[in-house]
Amino acid sequence: MIFYFTGTGNSLYLASCLAKAQGEKLISIAKEFDKKDNPFSYELHENEMIGFVYPVYAWAPPQMVLDFIKLIKIKGTTPYVFSVASCGEEEGNTTKILEKALRSSNLALDSAFTVCMPNNYIIGFDVDSEEVEKKRLEEAEQKLDKINMILAARKKDKTMLIPGKHPVLKSSVINYGFNHFARNTKKFYADDKCTLCRLCEKVCPVHSIELKEKPVWGQNCTMCLACINRCPAKAIQYGASTYSKGRYYHPKIDELENDI
């Protein structure tokens, strides 16, 4: 089984490709939290693997992913465990943080990978050019082929990571600031282009958006930016910093969501 968390579809695409190639079940971490009285207990079948596929947020795994790992209970044989982190440029110490969380739940990380995907964090940066986006998606396909070969053979201690410069600083100090200060919804709003389609309300993984006269944001936020990037009218803004920027979501996200 492959557990995934996604905002704009990069991680969903990677997880879907891996699940199809390995014959594994695909499970949304966000939807597992939606289940009432969920024991977060999973029974493993013979030769079944466990994968965690997720985006990198400020050089660390999303908090929802770490919270899920704290709750998870695996029954059955000792699984082969792998992770795939999706990032724009580099991951810092993301994989090490995930590995530590897995150990606390008595799971050992056997192999780990990082895949560069198109940028969606338009609060800090603009989206990639069409040329860069196309190149990144093509390179991701090539890396997926290599990852699938490793997973099919259940190879251990295999890593393809992109820590970048100063990973400890970025994954500790900067990530602390992100989780404690940057995950703030006060600057989100919908401008006059809003058509009241409710898509932002639907795609929010923490159900923090409610449609009134216009969308209204609650306090809980992962900063996945699904709402701002997927708005078909490009009506959602974050302060004054996003007006002139593009929007990005994986080109196959609608098709993938319909298949789940």
| Contact (Cβ atoms closer than 8 angstroms) between residue 5 and residue 54 | yes
| Contact (Cβ atoms closer than 8 angstroms) between residue 156 and residue 109 | no
Alpha carbons 50 and 1: distance in angstroms, whole number:
5
Alpha carbons 212 and 225: distance in angstroms, whole number:
20
- Kindly give, in sequence order, each residue whose CB lies less than 8 Å from that of residue 71, ignoring residues fewer than 6 positions away: 40
- 221: Cα within 13 Å, side-chain hemisphere: 25
pTM: 0.97
What value does the mean pLDDT take over residues 86-106? 97
Of 3.40.1000.10, 3.40.50.2000, 3.40.1780.10, 3.40.50.360, the CATH number of 2-169 is: 3.40.50.360
Task: Pick the closest to residue 60 from 33, 83, 28 (CA basis).
Answer: 83
Using DSSP's 3-state secondary structure scheme, residue 54 falls into strand
Given a cut of 90, is residue 259 above it in pLDDT?
Answer: no
Q: How high is the mean pLDDT of the chain?
A: 96
| Contact (Cβ atoms closer than 8 angstroms) between residue 12 and residue 3 | no
> pLDDT-based confidence at 45, cuts 50/70/90?
confident
Given a cut of 90, is residue 92 above it in pLDDT?
Answer: yes
pLDDT tens, position by position, 193-227: 999 999 999 999 999 999 999 999 999 999 999 99
pLDDT tens, position by position, 101-130: 999 999 999 999 999 999 999 999 999 999
> pLDDT-based confidence at 47, cuts 50/70/90?
confident
> pLDDT-based confidence at 260, cuts 50/70/90?
confident
Given a cut of 90, is residue 5 above it in pLDDT?
Answer: yes
Q: Residue 190's beta-bridge partner residues?
A: 236
Please state the domain extents for the chain.
Answer: 2-169
Given this model, what pLDDT does residue 77 score?
Answer: 86
Given this model, what pLDDT does residue 251 score?
Answer: 97
99 or 76: which carries more pLDDT confidence? 99
What residue type is assigned to position 107 of the chain? L
Given a cut of 90, is residue 133 above it in pLDDT?
Answer: yes
